[in-house]
Amino acid sequence: MKLWTSPWVFCLVILLLCFGSECGTVQRKGRSKRELVRIREAKATIPGACATRLPRGKRSLPGLERRVLPHRRRSAQAVENSSDRGKSVYFTGRGDQLRLKPGVEIPRGNFTLEMWIKPEGGQRSPTVIAGLYDKCFYASSDRGWLLGIEAVSEHGNRDPRFFFSLKTDRAHKVTSIHSNARYVPNQWAHVAVTYDGVYMKLFVNGAQVGVSREQSGDVFSHLTKKCKVLMIGGNALNHNYRGAVERVGLWRQARGQRQIIRDMQGHEDPQDLPQLVIRETFEHPGRKWLTVKDGSFPQPEQGGGWRVGFQGLGGGIGNSEGLLDTMLEPPPCGQTICDNIEVIKNYNNLWNFRRPKKVRYRVINIWDDTRTRPTVTDHQISLQHQQLNDAFSPYNITWELSIYNVTNSSLRNRLILANCDISKVGDDVCDPECNHPLTGYDAGDCMSGHRNRCPESKQGNGVCDPECNCENFSYDLGDCCNPNITDVTKTCFNRSSPYKAYLDVKELKEILQLDGSTHLNVFFANSSDEDLAGVATWPWDKEALTHLGGIVLNPSFYGTFGHTDTMVHEIGHSLGLYHVFRGISEVESCNDACLETEPSMETGDLCADTNPTPKYKGCHDPDPGNETCGCRDFTHTPFNNYMSYADDSCTDSFTLNQVARMHCYLDLIYQTWQPASKPPPVPMPPQVVEQHHNSISLEWFHPISGHFYNREVGSVCDKCTEGRVLLQYATNSSSPRPCAPSGHWSPREAEGPPDVEQACEPSVRTWSPNAGIEQGVVGLSECPLQGCMLQLEFPYPLVPDSLTVWVTFFSPEETALPAIHNILLLTVSGNNISLGPSNVFCDTPLTLKLDTEEEVFGVQFFTMEQHLEIDATLLASKPDCQLCRHCQPLHYRLLRHPPFTHAPHGLMLKEPTRRYTDRDVVPHVAYTYQVQTVSGRSDSEPSPPLIHELGAPYCGDGRIQSSKGEECDDMNTVNGDGCSSRCKKEPFFNCVGFSGTVAAVVLHLHIDVFALIPMNG
């Protein structure tokens, strides 16, 4: 295969964000460099009926936490030659690079280098994986060739890709070619480079992804061969590689793509052996390799190499790791697996995926101390509950109500603000969303002439004088927030006072601390804009199942005739639905990739059964207007949809695509909201991965939730993944650096999973050293000698296997040092471990393999880079973590029609495997296979079906079956190599003829040719 080259934020932010951190007293204004980001975040809260944040792209890392940094499966054929598999060794990047012994003759003309690699995330750019150097010609350090990783962005901070560079001894300049996409950390990849005296080529996973003919002739002459040194794992300039390497091969010929693919699959042709210079399996690396001065040999990777095939070829059940690439990516405008087109089509088409679901929700009703003046009345609650079930029950979703009464006059008497960022109160700018009588009209900012109306004689005179009650006069020098002087529930506008007359919703949630993992919590708040009816938490937000999640409603729009659909609309957001006008009125420009020109499951609201429409409150198609990208007629628009902005007299329905999305998110995120939920289903049909004359080998996907164990509220089992590895994000944070009053860029923003939506751009959802520093303050703006520090702690101390850090923004021009100056592991014993500096890419998480037997409870990051932003940190345990041992694994039942002769009700797989070889098959019979997830209590709905006959073609057999809709077939079920796991061409690839009946997918370069190879050669 070959390739063609050619950021609702409804920010309920408050001073409590600094609670739990060591943020100091700060100036009111933050750095001017961040103002653009603040403005952009503020604009994300749109005027109108709903202030739910607008997602602007995927998360830092798509998918759920148990899918973080997966290990891609390699082909089973590669396992067959077990005697030559060898070991994988791990290069730390610190003094363990190797150089070939002088006795081995290095090819000076045509050559091919192949190897399996598993690179860590975060490398020095460029990083050298292998290279040929000239140790004699010091005037030029670029003679020879390199295989490595290099950031192709202008500033070298993003888009790291594999590269192959070459400069022959007689060439004037270096030629470099790069892969078509950035590499994926901790994922095995087969890379190969070839040179035939004219063409230099780069192959990744068998696909040719780069070619050039700018170089010609031999790489070096026989006169200089003693000057040439071949190294792997780095070079003499310490551009060293971090990651695993396995099965290195060097040939004195430019091998063809057919040969490279066969070698990648583990097939060795005896005719190629005379041209083989090195086949390094790392069983005895000292026989051919030398270490650098004071260096050491790389250590074998724990678990050994080739841990990705199947040893169960002789029996029915294979290893749990397989051939199938189980990553189900969302489209570019999506967020999660429930946005994946194939997944949501299955929820559309399979009625059993939309069986009745009962969901719990909780209304939080605040009363005064005398149990009077409730926020909402019993009549409102009853009416809204009835209308809620009337709206959702036709779609097999019903709601179970509980009421949480809070008796607290202090809370009841305060204004709860829905969409005002408290840090903006009294910031010398009139912020309309904060302009309310109980904020003192934005602490006086929205009152003209307030600066000159307070005589000095009235300031601090023991009376709250209204003309002095603003930020400019320190709120009458404190008189207006003194409960012994005045009714502070009406006069205290100072955002820093504990007696202030208002709270924002996040402060209310922090006070109440209501668990969001068992119910959808419903809070009430007011707004300066009475048209603002509600706010919801998206299912992919990290607060969704916490006390900070839930929905917020204006009590005027709750349980009142003509407004009951407001809650239906907001719950729709919580269940993953966008506004129907997302693709027209919520795009950033007319060039926005999510602009919807026709109904689509990839753009706009990601529903193909809602026609494009602008934001409109009428109960009919909108008239053409200039607010859209070009005047156009919008017809058959979904104005009667609950996710439109029409009123209750008009809205009456969801579409089938929307219903499918809601049921998907109830399975993916909200199982613990359901009192009697089944295990999560497998969302895709099983797939054939191998076939012989008497057997069919199947593999299948994880359950949609990605969980491997029975999920219990309050247990860690939902954080345990395959091999009983515990994955945990930081939950406690601190920093000696000051916090901004808004809480933007505070330490707490680095807690939980990654939630930055546009990597490599500033985001308020991260920790940054100087966010709370006023620009130009001497002594504070720069980091101290040891670096600005962030400390993160994890819920459970454990012996770690790896650390993953999302550094999503930094300024490479600010310092020549690595972005992270030092990482310190905090251990229970007190023997803290320094990991030293780390280079990072802003669009690729930093991954660090940890070699320690100490229990780690936290980590400290030090940086000299004042604008660095850390989004999240993940600590993974070693396998068989003690905390996961009590967790009961989910099992699978394989259903077949006609049924298995030895298991007529389905085959229960005792081991948590996702592969089975069916030998109970005969030709000319169509077998239907489905998979169920089995927990200790119940079984899931069956997966979508696979229908297959023994001997019939299948995706992955190496032959394109156009009648089945195949566009390519590269003999694997891996995505990202030009031909998808569904045998569809991936973007920028094309099919070209090769030979026989098979065509190849090629990346179109200015001179490229590429082909897929048939299995029969």
Please name the helix (run of DSSP H) or strand (run of DSSP E) that holds residue 753, with its range, or none: none
Q: What are phi and psi of 727, to 5 degrees?
A: -105, 125
Amino acid letter, residue 255: R
CA distance linking residue 318 with residue 73, whole number of Å: 14
What's the farthest any 2 CA atoms get from each other in the chain?
A: 102
DSSP string, 285-308: GGGTEEEPTT--PPEEPTT-S-TT
Distance CA 186, CA 182 (A): 13
In this structure, are strands 820-827 and 856-863 parallel, antiparallel, or unpaired? Answer: antiparallel
- Alpha-carbon distance 497 to 779, whole Å? 28
Sheet with 175-178, strands from edge to edge, namely 175-178, 160-167, 144-151, 127-134, 228-232, 98-100, 289-291
Burial class of 173 by CB neighbour count within 10 A (0 to 12, 13 to 18, 19+): exposed
* Residue given tokens 């991936």 in the structure block: 986
As beta bridge partners, residue 536 has 551
Q: Which DSSP string do the residues of 899-937 spell out, in sequence order?
A: PPSS-TT-EEESS--SEEEE-S--TT-EEEEEEEEE-SS
- What is the SS3 assignment for 855-894? CEEEEEEEECCCCCEEEEEEEEECCCCHHHCCCCECEEEE
Structural tokens at position 87:
């070991």
Return the closest-CA partner of residue 790 out of 774, 807, 811.
807
E strand segments, 183-224: 189-195, 200-204, 207-212
Long-range CB contact pairs, 775-784, < 8 A, 24+: 775/31, 775/32, 775/33, 777/27, 780/738, 781/866, 782/866, 783/863, 783/864, 783/865, 783/866
Instruction: Find residue 721's DSSP bridge partners.
Output: 725
Q: How many Cβ atoms are within 10 Å of 430's Cβ, its own excluded?
A: 15
Q: What 3-state class would DSSP assign to 720?
A: strand
* CB-count exposure of residue 284 (10 Å: 0-12, 13-18, 19+): exposed
Kindly report whether the peptide bond that precedes residue 889 is cis, defined as omega within 30 degrees of 0: no
Single-letter residue type at 877: S
Residue 742 CA to its chain's centroid (Å): 26
Q: Which secondary structure element, helix H or strand E, spans residue 896, and what is its range?
A: strand 891-897
Q: Which run of H or E residues covers position 49?
A: none
433 is catalytic: no
Two tokens, residue 169: 């001894």
Q: Residue with structure tokens 């009588």?
A: 437
Q: Which of 570, 586, 757, 869 does the annotation list as catalytic?
A: 570
Q: How far apart are CA 996 and CA 973, in angstroms?
A: 22
SS3 call for 998:
strand
| Residue 27 neighbours by CB distance under 10 Å | 14
Active site residues: 570
